Amino acid sequence: MKLTSYSALATLTSAVVAAPLMGKRAAVNDADILNFALTLEHLENVFYKGGVSAMPEQMFLDAGFTSEYYNNLKFIVHDEEQHVELLTSALTTAGAMPVAACEYDFPYTDPHSFVTLASVLEGVGVSAYLGASPLVSSPAYLGVAASILVTESLHTSLQRYSLGEVAPANPYGTALGINAVYTLAATFIKSCPSSNVALPVSAFPKLTATQGIPASPGITFTFSVAAAMQSDFFVTFVSGLATTSVPGTMNGGMIEATIPQTAMGQTYAFITNANVTGSIMDSMVLFGPAIIEVTPPSPTFDLTIQ
């Protein structure tokens, strides 16, 4: 199947709002992490159920997807519901108040844009679980999160493959901090119940990817922001285990940067105030993240390595 339109992805990477989901407070504990995970699972649960409710199987078949894909899609709907129920039960058992689902606005209009957005959401979900795992102190909770992460990764591979993308585009998963994940999730949240507990997260200023994707390493990619830029800045790409900063330049009001060779698959771009080595810290982030899809190079391997 040929690659689909990335209008849904463009919406995700350009429309970050201060949604009434969470208010920032001090320390992060295990209940916060579980509730943050539940927030994301609620979003996916409502997203998938809305998709299969609005678009029957025949619409997916007419759009070029297969019956096998649609059957797998129903399993994903089941999985996301199970994740919501498990996290809700775990929080209740621990004496914490689970957050309820919010009201959402998802910008898909047909099966292609739905699957494109599903692929991106699943990728963000994987990045969220990877990024939050070092913050979990309970081995039992960490085991639950790891189990969900495996399933979300399977979902990601299915959606990517169905779009004609390389499913294992990067040898490694990409971790994101909770503020970066919240920045992306807030795009779709219209309102949340006032009874939901406030979690210690906040959104970064938005960064918009302003040219077509997928992209490829070595090309000049453009971004825009809705605020004044400082004179010296970097565009920092986070992909797999690699965090790579390249000098950014301004050209006609647009930010330009060369995509590094380390970027493969779903990649997150930030504007940072420093050349990042190692992990990207929240204090370094000026804008972002924006999501771009980077076509990986042809695979290489050495048959003599046993």
Buried b (16+ CB within 10 A) or exposed e, 118-153: bbbbbbbbbbbbbbbeeebebeebbebbeebbebbb
Count of residues in the chain:
306
Burial bucket for residue 27 (CB in 10 Å: 0-12, 13-18, 19+): exposed
Question: Which of 50-59, 147-156, 172-181, 210-219 shows the lowest mean pLDDT across its residues?
Answer: 210-219
89-128 tens-digit pLDDT: 999 999 999 999 999 999 999 999 999 999 999 999 999 9
pLDDT of residue 26: 55
CB atoms closer than 10 angstroms to residue 227:
8
Q: Is the pLDDT of residue 142 over 90?
A: yes
Element (H, E) at 251: strand 249-251
CA distance 255 to 135: 33
Asked whether the beta carbons of 34 and 90 are under 8 A apart, the reply is yes
For 68-96, the pLDDT digits (tens) are 999 999 999 999 999 999 999 999 999 99
163 with 1: CB under 8 angstroms? yes
The model carries a pTM of: 0.91
Distances (CA, A) of 160 to 15, 118, 146, 214: 23, 9, 21, 12
CA 99 to chain centroid, in Å, comes to 20
Q: Over 80: is that where the pLDDT of 14 sits? A: no
Residue the block writes with tokens 């539940």: 38
Write out pLDDT tens, residues 153-191. Answer: 999 999 999 999 999 999 999 999 999 999 999 999 999
